[in-house]
Structure 1
């Protein structure tokens, strides 16, 4: 099926987590431009969002609730840079051919991550946009809460944060319990989230826990939509 034509459209790199949602929120509140496509990266073996561990089926429900088309990029587990870069070019090319010109990312303050992403996006002929860049992360965490978003912590890097934080709701209590060394938005990879509700959602995506993966450095919670069979 042919992709819809977009004039100067925005593609948002979409993990399903709070930073991607905040990028959409801040952009839509401060600019007339609108996100016309979401691009999610999942591992080809498990169909789960890389790093976050969220099943693709939940991200599809998010996209439906946001009424934004979802495009999926599949990669092997822990792909080398050249594989990731080739897959990203293949995923972005048809979007660029249909008028999308800007790729939005929710990066916050890590210069090396931004530099790599910016160079990669520009190499395929697109412009990179970072609407959250340099903003105070405490303010962003508070905005997420006061705007009425809801999220669950899907993954924790146990070298930075105790595994007891995985599966918790991302709320004021969670933020109060974070060690001082951990950024409230988890920008250094201490934790990742899945957003289940918020102002742009036509319907919430309530989730239930079906188990946990606690082997290795990254501990994750396995989620399914409430009402689905485990």
Structure 2
């Protein structure tokens, strides 16, 4: 698998606002990569992210807190790849040489990333790939990142919604035989703070809504604070 290992390479980050994409960004910076922008795919209205259904203003706030520009793509699921590749080609023309992705073990995701990057002339960097999901979870928390659970499915306890990730959760995930990273959508997170954040986000108002089998935390009000 191609990877970005040169400290002179310019890269974008495929950014969901969740823990893996932020941790992949963190690892890329540790490798010495020049991070030029965050790339997030939204629905056709541009109001919510495709992956985590976070609102656009929250993603913009995360980008501000990280001190990086946010590139917003809009697509349906059917047009997702076409729009994504169009943006990558534009980034390539602007001097971007590769992309950072937070995939951990889903082979079909890695194959898609490698193919799309190959077809657009970019190099893929998957710094979390092949790592034990438990180790990824632990390293993320121990590195000082703060993330909350914004959606979950059974059998994850309902009272986990809105809670900050902590190492005690690993015991519950192990007992329920749930992937600690939630790679298959068992749960999603939103990152509020961490060692690479120049500012931090604080949730002021939220509510829990149920969508079929999914519980989701709707972030209604938040503030960006200096650290």
Work out which of the residue numbers 214, 217, 220 in structure 2 matches 1:221.
217
Deviation at 1:201, TM superposition (A): 1.0
2:16 counterpart SS class: coil
Aligned positions of 1:140-219 closer than 5 A:
140-158=136-154, 161-178=156-173, 179-219=175-215
Give me the TM-score of the superposition, normalised by structure 2. 0.87
1:95 counterpart SS class: helix
CA contact (8 A) 2:46 2:74 kept: no
Question: Hey, what's the Cα distance between the residues in 2 that align with 1:44 and 1:208?
Answer: 28
Unaligned runs of 5+ in 1: 1-6
- Listed one character per residue, the Cα deviations across residues 53-89 of structure 1 (whole Å, up to 9, x for unaligned) are 221111111111111111011123xx12xx1111102
Question: Hey, what's the Cα distance between the residues in 2 that align with 1:227 and 1:199?
Answer: 18
1:57 counterpart SS class: helix
- Listed one character per residue, the Cα deviations across residues 183-204 of structure 1 (whole Å, up to 9, x for unaligned) are 1111122111000000111111
Aligned positions of 1:47-196 closer than 5 A:
47-76=47-76, 79-80=77-78, 83-158=79-154, 161-178=156-173, 179-196=175-192
Show the counterpart of 1:21.
Answer: 22
1:176 counterpart SS class: helix
1:100 counterpart SS class: coil
Question: Hey, what's the Cα distance between the residues in 1 that align with 2:197 and 2:220?
Answer: 18
Question: Hey, what's the Cα distance between the residues in 2 that align with 1:51 and 1:209?
Answer: 22
Show the counterpart of 1:4.
Answer: none
Q: Count how many residue pairs are aligned between Structure 1 and Structure 2.
A: 216
Question: Hey, what's the Cα distance between the residues in 2 that align with 1:163 and 1:46?
Answer: 29
CA contact (8 A) 2:201 2:223 kept: no
Question: Hey, what's the Cα distance between the residues in 1 that align with 2:93 and 2:51?
Answer: 29
CA contact (8 A) 1:137 1:183 kept: yes
1:204 counterpart SS class: strand
Show the counterpart of 1:36.
Answer: 36
**Alignment root-mean-square deviation, CA:** 2.0
Question: Hey, what's the Cα distance between the residues in 2 that align with 1:24 and 1:227?
Answer: 23
1:108 counterpart SS class: coil
CA contact (8 A) 2:205 2:219 kept: yes
Give me the TM-score of the superposition, normalised by structure 1. 0.86
CA contact (8 A) 1:209 1:221 kept: no
CA contact (8 A) 2:206 2:221 kept: no
Q: Which runs of 4+ in 1 moved over 3 A?
A: 160-164
Unaligned runs of 5+ in 2: 1-7
